[in-house]
Amino acid sequence: MKIIHGQSLPNSIRFSTATHTAIARYNAKGGVAITCTLSKLGFRAFLSELGLVILVGTTCVCSELLLSMVTDASEVICSSAVLILTAILMWKVAPWHGAEHKAASAFDRINGPLTDIEYVRQYSRIHDMCGSRVLLPGLCIILLGFFLRSTAFVGVSFLGLILFDRYIGLLRVPGILRAFRFIQKHLTTREPTDLQLITAMAAINVLWHLEKRRPGG
């Protein structure tokens, strides 16, 4: 079985193969609920990339309109509020993101069910296939576009960034890999708790059993 996609949110972790997707959600009662669906990664990836470009462009347009109507003091307050909310969200997601990476790395090594939480815990929370590799160049694009007041620049640049990463690979660019690992270590992941590791392990184990029951699996 080959895991080709992972995603983390507060209280949930998703893993996908070419044929199935499993989402494990930890609930307040102490249990883990699993939802399984057929994968539609190609279409989902297209929508995600298109949605990202549209979202960034719309955000820049709204920012330009907002900044044209507010004072310098209001601009500082609004910017600070956005930064604080973003930091809070990233802080909440970070341990789940770390659990996702540890479980994926452990599975890549053994290619079988994950049954020992201490075995999974020993793996790094830094994973070179993480989609956050576009975070640093993406932020640079947003800042430059904001400075230039050009939503067209942001949209075209983001589309170019996505295509470059898909067909060439951002990690081929000198310095990107080191910066990418630094961001993961200090910003986008944290050491997970037992419940977060258990949630990630549950999603992978369900995928494993589904793939084994599939003809040719």
pLDDT tens across 131-154, in order? 778 777 877 887 787 777 676 777
- pLDDT tens digits, 18-64: 888 888 888 766 667 777 665 555 445 554 555 555 555 555 556 55
Output 109-116 pairs: Cβ under 8 A, ≥24 positions apart: 111/1, 112/208, 113/204, 113/205, 113/208, 113/209, 114/201, 114/204, 114/205, 115/201, 115/205
Span 184-204, average pLDDT: 92
Tokens 């044209």 sit at which residue?
A: 68
**Pairing state between β 32-38 and 20-26:** antiparallel
Q: How many domains does the chain have?
A: 1
Instruction: Domain of residue 43: give its range.
Output: 5-213
* pTM of the predicted model as reported, rounded to 2 decimal places: 0.77
| Residue 207 near residue 22 (C-beta atoms within 8 A) | yes
Burial class (CB in 10 A: 0-12, 13-18, 19+), 168: exposed
CA distance 127 to 130: 6
